[in-house]
Structure 1
Amino acid sequence: MTTPQAAPTEGGYKRSLGTRQTQMIAIGGTIGTGLFLGAGTAISQAGPSLIIWYAVAGAVLFLVVRALGELLMYRPAAGSFADYAREFLGPFWGYATAWTYWIMWVTTGMAEITAAGNFVRYWAPDFAQWKTALIALVVLTGANLISVKIFGELEFWFAMIKVTAILGMILIGVGVLILGFSDAGDTASVTHLWADGGIAPHGVWNSLMTLQIVLFAYQGVELVGVTAGEVKDPRKNIPRAINTLPLRFALFYLGALVVILSVVSWSEFHPGTSPFVAAFAKIGIPAAAGIINFVVFTSALSSCNAGGLYGTARMLRSAGLNGHGPKALARLTERGVPRTALMVSSVVMAAGVGVNAIDPEHAFTYITSVSTGGAILVWSIILVTHLRYRRAVREGRAAVSPYRMPGAPYTNWLALACFAFVTVLIGWDPDTRLALYGIAVWVVLLGLGYLVLRVRGRDTADESAGAPDEPAGLADGALRN
């Protein structure tokens, strides 16, 4: 059986994202406010053991993206994992995946513009948080409406700022540890990683409870799959982006945390304080807080831009194409932008601005709890879809992908078990239990929405038994499910 070849375009999109932009989108997608801001809370609870949980979570999510990569190389699809779920799990799962990914990133976008409004108050404390959020949303929506190339350029520079900040922290921190310069030189030592109360100073269980924060920090790692329909030469650029994930995880997450916790003892970190601000301040770098606030501000805008607007618009268009949403969502502009879907996501995200105006103190907590639960659900669906794809390959109903997930199916089940364990931890903690309530309500709404589609005869996928709409790039003679 021959291997499918990528089509010049997919689903009407323009392949405008080059190697440089794809690599930076992949890097930026793995670095967000969870590392720059949320890690402070996690460090105060888990101590140095947080490094272990970042390594474990990174390994698990690498398996998720490798599974997605195998599906992408089987058939690069504009609808990404929603199309694959529809093909191998059935129409309902394609519908559920597209809309769950949409709500996950819309709520994440709300969280990020909430954070952006908060960071601007560092420079302008009297400027209303919701006003910053609204301005940011309008500007980013406008940029995405112009063309995907503008989106790619924005993400390139957003990611460049984040990467520069982390590399700068690592290099300066290593200099402090080796040369002993700055105010932190006298106390900086790698022994902080185990000598100040142990690796898990508050106990292993309390340390494990930070896994939700860790997973939220990695959210967006799957974005490389959403870009498949608009990447130049996807068969070269997508595997390259995925294969470098372990290196990026090791450098940007583990490397940064090892250096920070060696320069500053974990006991000096407090909830709500950026570990980067604390480390820069300890070293004695002028305007440390201002520098990091700017980096975190752009990081929040990056997440809102990539997932909240770009990713959700593509998923909504997939829903429109498959009859899982209004047909108007499927429309593209001459430049290949899903304008209607983009505007719907933007308008719903504006509701986050309303949450900011009504309850700015709790907005971030409300929104991220739902977003994290949605991410675990989507990642799990990707793994199960991959299992069904492998079965279809064995039965001769699907082409063999040239890019294989290592250790499958055992690695699939291992990753799924990890997500199940994290779900138990989320339910255990009263502060994060809201996520499970939100997901339960969402599942009920999904079921009701699908019943309405079936009654109205809108689920076009039923006619093809879950097969995609003329998948570009499918091998000649390859059978579809």
Structure 2
Amino acid sequence: MKNENHFMRKMSSKHLVTLSLGGVIGTGIFLSSGYLIQEAGAIGTIIAYMVGGALATLVMMCLGELSVQHPDTSSLHMYASKYIHPSVGFTVAWLYWLTWTVALGSQFITMGITLQKWFPQMPIWIWCAIFSGIILLLNVLDVKIFSVSEFWLSLIKVVALGIFVILGITAITGVLPVHASSAPLFHNLTANGLFPHGFGAVFIVLLSANFAFSGTELIGVAAGETSNPEKNIPKAIKRTLFLLVTLFIGTIVVIGALIPANSKALTESPFVIILQNLGIPFASDIMNFIIFIAILSGANSGLYAASRMLWSLAEDGTLPKIFSRLSKHGLPVNGLILTLAGGLLSLFSSIYAEDTVYLALVSISGFAVVAVWLSIGVSQLRFRQVFIKQHQLTELKYRTPGYPLVPWLVIILCSISLIGIYFDPNQRIALYFGIPFTVLTTLVYQLFYRKQKRSAYDISTVD
């Protein structure tokens, strides 16, 4: 099995869960949920999140079989290289690295803006420098320090969303004294009809809902640093998906039930408005703190994931070997530094080249989420076909349920999502930049790396 023992296996099931949650639960659910409800209605948004959760579940079923069989830090890159084509793996690695690196840039500046609420005199660039140093330290000292820090950061987000949902349900049903005489129940969910802007709006929101679950695949990236992967990976997948679907849909139900669809509060700060209406003191400060933690956790997870892609490319011979060197604690320090530098360049481009360079980067990273999930479905389909030619099916320690239906559903739904991007004017540009970038990376591989020895990715064999 390729290089799986280079990294130290210190992560447990709970660390995998919180790592994945750290990548998924970000500013989207806290800042964009109200906008989505206004666009498609509460019922439409709930349907979109259910479909997004279903697709994420299907993807993780496929990833589970691959990552248990190949608990490798190369993961997504290696699966696509071995079971589709090496050029596809090369493209997947760069797409995935770019996704998290661009996110780092936006997260740094959002963190700075968030903290200006409390420290208005402090320039944003100072906050960006401070948090760059913090997440780098969390990632370079020891993977145990990283996983423990991400555990607590993610736990704060999960608990915050859980408390919000519980408080919201008590308000909806009139259990809380402040709402005892006027429990809204669920009338607001359908006050303007099931689909106030037509069913087509649900399709557009569906694309955003799919993106909302991106980050769950971090479990596969961390497989190479996980103890007892055949036990911990399936357990982590189940727990992650249960928490995400419950919290995301619960949040949409609460916001949709407590705030009318025509209220300006939906696009301003629905969380703050609801907490204030419930009589929670310092509601604005509480939410500002939670949003700050969400961003810090997402940046922490993103730096981890992107650096592992650079290590994987270097191990594959398509990046200088300096990026495959590990510290005495088994960490790709050079990859971490380059990724952080890329995040800071992304930040600068968002300030000085917002309509050109940054627009292209954001568009490619949006396209990348669906493209990487698509590669997981295809990889699992091909993996099983090769495996059963040499092994008994019972030899698999984890099997994707419903094969081949599940991987085919992933392929079909991801393809529909990519096509659907074209019909949303706000997201269409993702195709205009994403497709040329994919073609470019494929050509680069064919021109410069095609003739390299590829014995590690011989599709005729399964480890």
* CA distance 1:255–1:423, shift in 2 (3 Å): same
Give the Cα–Cα distance (whole angstroms) in 2 for the partners of residues 136 and 257 of structure 1.
31
Q: Does 1:117 align with 2:112?
A: yes
Q: Does 1:260 align with 2:282?
A: no
C-alpha displacement at 1:282, in angstroms? Answer: 2.9
C-alpha displacement at 1:182, in angstroms? Answer: 5.7
2:385 corresponds in structure 1 to 391
Match of 2:329 among 326, 330, 335: 335
Matches within 5 A, 1:208-223: 208-223=203-218
Match of 2:238, as an amino acid? N
2:195 corresponds in structure 1 to 200
Q: 2:76 touches 2:376 (CA, 8 Å); kept in 1?
A: yes
Deviation digits for residues 277-328 of structure 1 (CA, Å, limit 9, x no counterpart): 2322332322212211211111111111112x10111111111011121111
Q: Does 1:480 align with 2:462?
A: yes
1:371 corresponds in structure 2 to 365
Segment of structure 1 superposing worse, 361-370 or 225-234: 361-370
Match of 2:88 among 83, 93, 96: 93
Match of 1:393, as an amino acid? F
Q: 2:90 touches 2:442 (CA, 8 Å); kept in 1?
A: no
Match of 1:145, as an amino acid? V
Q: Does 1:174 align with 2:195?
A: no
Match of 1:135 among 130, 147, 168: 130
* CA distance 1:162–1:362, shift in 2 (3 Å): farther
Matches within 5 A, 1:244-283: 244-269=239-264, 272-283=267-278
* CA distance 1:124–1:387, shift in 2 (3 Å): same
Segment of structure 1 superposing worse, 53-62 or 134-143: 134-143
Q: Does 1:188 align with 2:184?
A: yes
Q: Which runs of 5+ in 2 are unaligned?
A: none
Match of 1:303, as an amino acid? G
Match of 1:467 among 450, 453, 458: 458
Q: 1:87 touches 1:466 (CA, 8 Å); kept in 2?
A: yes
Q: Does 1:350 align with 2:344?
A: yes
Deviation digits for residues 53-102 of structure 1 (CA, Å, limit 9, x no counterpart): 10111011111011011011222112112111121122212212212211
Deviation digits for residues 423-480 of structure 1 (CA, Å, limit 9, x no counterpart): 233222222122112212311330232134237x5x342xx17239xxxxxxxxx943
Q: For residue 404 of structure 1, give the secondary structure of its aligned residue in structure 2.
A: coil
Q: 1:108 touches 1:367 (CA, 8 Å); kept in 2?
A: no
1:414 corresponds in structure 2 to 409
1:289 corresponds in structure 2 to 284
Q: Does 1:23 align with 2:17?
A: yes
Give the Cα–Cα distance (whole angstroms) in 2 for the partners of residues 99 and 398 of structure 1.
35
1:380 corresponds in structure 2 to 374
Q: 1:33 touches 1:217 (CA, 8 Å); kept in 2?
A: no
2:156 corresponds in structure 1 to 161
Q: 2:38 touches 2:261 (CA, 8 Å); kept in 1?
A: yes
Give the Cα–Cα distance (whole angstroms) in 2 for the partners of residues 314 and 360 of structure 1.
28
* CA distance 1:363–1:153, shift in 2 (3 Å): farther
Match of 2:430 among 428, 435, 443: 435
Q: TM-score, normalised by structure 1?
A: 0.88
Q: 1:114 touches 1:363 (CA, 8 Å); kept in 2?
A: no
Give the Cα–Cα distance (whole angstroms) in 2 for the partners of residues 278 and 232 of structure 1.
43
Segment of structure 1 superposing worse, 42-51 or 277-286: 277-286
Match of 2:341, as an amino acid? V
Give the Cα–Cα distance (whole angstroms) in 2 for the partners of residues 26 and 142 of structure 1.
20
Q: For residue 210 of structure 1, give the secondary structure of its aligned residue in structure 2.
A: helix
* CA distance 1:162–1:368, shift in 2 (3 Å): farther
| Cα root mean square deviation, aligned | 2.6
Q: For residue 29 of structure 1, give the secondary structure of its aligned residue in structure 2.
A: helix
Q: For residue 275 of structure 2, give the secondary structure of its aligned residue in structure 1.
A: helix
Give the Cα–Cα distance (whole angstroms) in 1 for the partners of residues 417 and 264 of structure 2.
24
Match of 1:435, as an amino acid? A
Q: Does 1:312 align with 2:306?
A: yes
Q: Which runs of 5+ in 1 are unaligned?
A: 1-5, 469-477
* CA distance 1:383–1:322, shift in 2 (3 Å): same
Q: What is the aligned residue count? A: 460
C-alpha displacement at 1:35, in angstroms? Answer: 0.8
Q: Does 1:146 align with 2:141?
A: yes
* CA distance 1:398–1:126, shift in 2 (3 Å): farther
Give the Cα–Cα distance (whole angstroms) in 2 for the partners of residues 30 and 53 of structure 1.
16
Q: For residue 262 of structure 2, give the secondary structure of its aligned residue in structure 1.
A: helix
C-alpha displacement at 1:187, in angstroms? Answer: 5.3
Q: For residue 390 of structure 2, give the secondary structure of its aligned residue in structure 1.
A: coil
Give the Cα–Cα distance (whole angstroms) in 2 for the partners of residues 385 and 59 of structure 1.
19
Give the Cα–Cα distance (whole angstroms) in 2 for the partners of residues 102 and 339 of structure 1.
15
1:453 corresponds in structure 2 to 448
**Runs of 4+ residues deviating >4 angstroms:** 182-185, 269-272, 359-368, 397-400
Deviation digits for residues 13-67 of structure 1 (CA, Å, limit 9, x no counterpart): 0112233322322333332211111212211101111011101110111110110
